[in-house]
């Protein structure tokens, strides 16, 4: 179904996709599988480089994306999470039932690129799109002095696209380190509203002596923070990387005419953690299916329905996570410590271990903030932020 253009300086695709990461590659797979001409344009010269996130995801989430990645992509399996308060009080969660894995994001993206290419998608690396604009009945996209004409364009260009649409991010960073203070099966999360305002610091092991450490927060020096943490733990730093964190929720609208955003470009990352392998990947799958159906039926309403479908699946979940972040951001260090004491001494950790879902943090949020004495202790602002949600 490939379209042609008489102007040799122009390129024509039925669908063009900006961004060769999870959302873009999954969208390309869906569109190519339906027999339509689709090209994916990735700004970097290699798919999966640089590594875009820590690679934390549930095995069930990967399965729901219709993927069976080779075992070589899985770096580790995690069964426990420990949360530390400012004074190092602990909450321990048994996460064995949630089947959380750490994947090698670089290899994973290459695996997705292979799936998309086998389905018939064209992948073009080293192509940074400078601009695009709708001129019905097509979308014009420019890079390297060339113009690409498409019937539909999917913007899966990551955090830069998200920011250009009015979204905002937190400054974040990630190190790869060699060390021996952590346990292979245990994620560590450090919460401190002074040191990491609006977010947290984390440790994600990938082997007995290798881990990814990271931090994000409002106005912090990420490299200074991680350098000190590594030094305090006696860790050797093998790689440093700045990585903006998207944790402020999805855009109000994903679709405008012939253009749709998906993945990080649409803010489809969890407000609690900034993770988006499953939620953003699912956005890519839905956007790809919507684009293919719109072409097949010659009706752009099918593209618009992608947004409705994604929000039906994740809208309430993201709303609750956003409200929880708003409530938690108002706590002082002392209040965080008191919250940890209350939760740790209650049945909440056990219930989260039994009923929690890594892809849906609302279960843990409702369990934690639904405890009556917690709400009464922290006052009306907790009630105003969360009462509508924990009562459901």
Output the average pLDDT for the chain.
90
At 309-319, the pLDDT tens digits run: 999 999 999 99
Out of 24-33, 39-48, 263-272, 356-365, pick the least confident. 356-365
Per-residue pLDDT band at 353 (split at 50, 70, 90): confident
Q: What percent of the chain has pLDDT over 70?
A: 90
> pLDDT at position 379, please?
52
Query: Is the per-residue pLDDT at 375 higher than 70?
Result: no
> pLDDT at position 389, please?
46
Query: Is the per-residue pLDDT at 300 higher than 50?
Result: yes
Out of 209-213, 284-288, 322-326, pick the least confident. 322-326
Are 254 and 262 in contact by the 8 Å Cβ rule? The answer is yes
Length of the chain: 392
Query: Is the per-residue pLDDT at 388 higher than 80?
Result: no
> pLDDT at position 44, please?
96
Beta bridge pairs of residue 90: 84
Per-residue pLDDT band at 367 (split at 50, 70, 90): low
Q: What percent of the chain has pLDDT over 90?
A: 77
Closest CA to 330 of 189, 172, 193: 193
At 3-56, the pLDDT tens digits run: 444 334 578 999 999 999 999 999 999 999 999 999 999 999 999 999 878 999
At 133-170, the pLDDT tens digits run: 999 899 999 988 899 999 999 999 999 999 999 999 99
Residue that has been written with the tokens 């339509």 in this structure = 36
Spatial separation of the C-alpha atoms in residues 252 and 273, rounded to whole Å = 20
Spatial separation of the C-alpha atoms in residues 281 and 111, rounded to whole Å = 14
> pLDDT at position 326, please?
80
Tokens of 112: 């997705």
At 268 the three-state DSSP class reads coil
pTM, to two decimals? 0.92
Task: Please give the average per-residue pLDDT across 279-294, as a whole number.
Answer: 98
Stronger pLDDT, 101 or 359, i.e. the higher one: 101
Spatial separation of the C-alpha atoms in residues 65 and 26, rounded to whole Å = 9
């Amino acid at each position: 179904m490939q379209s042609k253009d008489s102007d040799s300086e122009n390129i024509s695709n039925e669908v063009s996709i900006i961004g060769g990461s999870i959302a873009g590659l999954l969208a390309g797979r869906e569109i190519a599988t339906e027999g339509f001409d689709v090209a994916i344009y990735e700004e970097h010269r290699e798919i999966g480089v640089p590594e875009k996130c820590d690679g934390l995801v549930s095995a069930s989430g990967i399965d729901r994306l219709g993927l069976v990645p080779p075992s070589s992509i899985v770096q580790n399996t995690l069964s426990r999470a420990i949360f530390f308060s400012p004074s190092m009080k602990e909450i321990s969660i048994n996460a064995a039932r949630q089947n959380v894995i750490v994947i090698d994001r670089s290899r994973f993206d290459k695996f997705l690129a292979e799936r998309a290419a086998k389905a018939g998608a064209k992948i073009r690396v080293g192509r940074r799109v400078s601009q695009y604009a709708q001129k019905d009945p097509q979308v014009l996209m420019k890079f390297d002095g060339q113009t690409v004409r498409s019937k539909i364009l999917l913007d899966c260009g990551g955090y830069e696209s998200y920011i250009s649409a009015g979204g905002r991010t937190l400054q974040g960073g990630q190190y790869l380190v060699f060390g021996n203070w952590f346990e292979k099966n245990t994620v560590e999360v450090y919460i401190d509203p002074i040191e990491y305002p609006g977010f947290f610091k984390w440790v994600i092991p990938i082997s007995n002596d290798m881990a990814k450490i990271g931090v994000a927060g409002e106005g912090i020096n990420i490299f200074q923070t991680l350098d000190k943490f590594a030094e305090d733990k006696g860790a050797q730093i093998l790689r440093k990387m700045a990585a903006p964190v998207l944790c402020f929720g999805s855009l109000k609208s994903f679709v405008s005419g012939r253009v749709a955003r998906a993945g990080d470009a649409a803010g489809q990352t969890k407000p609690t953690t900034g993770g988006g392998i499953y939620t953003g990947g699912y956005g890519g799958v839905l956007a790809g299916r919507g684009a293919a159906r719109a072409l097949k039926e010659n009706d752009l309403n099918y593209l618009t329905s992608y947004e409705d479908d994604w929000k039906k699946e994740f809208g309430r979940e993201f709303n609750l996570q956003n409200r929880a972040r708003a409530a938690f951001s108002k706590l002082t260090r002392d209040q965080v410590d008191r919250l940890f004491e209350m939760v740790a001494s209650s049945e909440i950790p056990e219930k989260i271990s039994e009923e929690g879902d890594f892809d849906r943090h609302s279960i843990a949020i409702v369990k934690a903030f639904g405890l009556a004495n917690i709400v009464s202790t922290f006052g009306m602002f907790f009630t105003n932020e969360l009462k509508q949600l924990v009562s459901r």
